[in-house]
Structure 1
Amino acid sequence: MYLTVATKQDIEKAGVDIKQVQFYNSEEIVLARQLSKGELKVAEGKVRIENGKSIEEIIIPANTPGICELNDEKTLKVSFDTGDGKSIPFLVERKGDMATSGSYFKIGAKKWERTARGQQIGKVDYQGQIYNLVRGANSRLMIDKSILNKVDRNTHVAKGRKL
């Protein structure tokens, strides 16, 4: 199920640490950046040559499990891979200027640009580098519905009292 502001509040009210919740991305996310010649050896993602340029791609398939590394009122930074700086921001989706309880957490970017073909490309800080968000601009955070059904029960059976 999609994570909404209300769902996040319900989880927190139940005393569950949001950093202990398993998250998933709703769509495939593809980050890409052009590499300089000196960076070719350092690239961790998949490298491909396109029009004579070296492009590094990071692919996060849909429904990849992730963990929350940063939690504040409007942003959750979720990491789908091990290593420093490998987290992606998900921001509360706004309807106009308002965030409502039904608002989803949608992938965020430092800046959005439109291509000549009208496609939205986001600029995302990942591993200390700026990547283009070439696929997954509408990706939202999801959680396993069973987290909402977790109940901590403290049971005590009385032994009775005799005279």
Structure 2
Amino acid sequence: MINSKFSALALGSALIMLTFSCSPRLTPLSGEMIKENGWSSEDLKHVQFYLANDLILSRRLSTGESTISNGKIRIRDGQKIEQIIIKSGTPGTLLFMPKEDRMAISFDDSSNAKYLIFGASPKMRSRFVLFGKEWDAHSGKITYNGQIYDTSSESAFNALLVDLKRASKIIHETEVAQGRKIVN
């Protein structure tokens, strides 16, 4: 009886340890991390990114405009409001880098136009956070899918996360060509 309780306890402990050892270690991506690891834009296209916090984008639809993709349309005070919700932990991939310290990350595989720009912020210890066209005390303007959306000012601190275990497994192989001469 004691032996079976001990076996069950040992098995439970082993399962808990295995679960935590295999779970991703999500860490905010920073410019220093990229430099320390020597990651190129091509390397970063093989890294899985995650959104740190929920992000809600919304915009008023003009009269006669009622396209619905994967967003929700809400009617508020007689106005049509389109909302795009990207949940915390949603995986994303790098599409391109418009500048060395900026990344276009897509969290939606239905269109390459559905991306957000993140950039290394000196105010946030060079962490990659959501970039917007403009920010004020209450909200910001974000471009997504070719449209301008509003989001809360807290979204300015929404960071990109990476699984450090997987990201550090990128192996760099460099080969230098020695040249080739004509043989007479």
Greater RCO (CA < 8 Å, at least 6 residues apart): 1
Residue equivalent to 2:150: 132
Which structure has greater strand proportion? Answer: 1
Instruction: Provide the aligned C-alpha RMSD in A.
Output: 2.4
Alignment partner of 1:109 is 2:132: yes
Which structure has greater helix proportion? Answer: 2
**Distance (whole Å) between structure 1 residues aligned to residue 104 and residue 41 of structure 2:** 20
Does the Cα contact within 8 Å between 1:11 and 1:148 map onto a contact in 2?
no
Gaps of 5+ in 2: 1-26, 174-184
Larger Rg: 2
Q: CA, structure 1 residues 144+54, in 2 after alignment: closer, same or farther (shift >3 Å)?
A: same
Alignment partner of 1:81 is 2:108: yes
String of CA shifts for 1:5-46, please: whole Å, max 9, x gaps.
Answer: 111123435997111110001000110000023111x12210
**Distance (whole Å) between structure 2 residues aligned to residue 140 and residue 91 of structure 1:** 9
Of residues 94, 98, 112 in structure 1, which corresponds to 2:122?
Answer: 94
Q: Does the residue aligned with 2:157 lie in a helix, a strand or coil?
A: coil
Q: Does the residue aligned with 1:56 lie in a helix, a strand or coil?
A: strand
Residue equivalent to 1:160: none
Does the Cα contact within 8 Å between 1:11 and 1:18 map onto a contact in 2?
no
Alignment of 1:55-74 (within 5 A): 55-71=81-97, 72-74=99-101
- For these two proteins, the number of residue pairs brought into alignment is 143
Gaps of 5+ in 1: 155-163
Residue equivalent to 1:43: 68
Letter matched to residue 108 of structure 1:
F
String of CA shifts for 1:66-85, please: whole Å, max 9, x gaps.
Answer: 00112232211100002131
Percentage of identical aligned residues: 34
Deviation at 1:122, TM superposition (A): 1.2
Query: What is the TM-score normalised by the length of structure 2?
Result: 0.70
Runs of 4+ in 1 over 6 A off after TM superposition: none
Q: CA, structure 1 residues 152+128, in 2 after alignment: closer, same or farther (shift >3 Å)?
A: closer
Does the Cα contact within 8 Å between 2:47 and 2:162 map onto a contact in 1?
yes
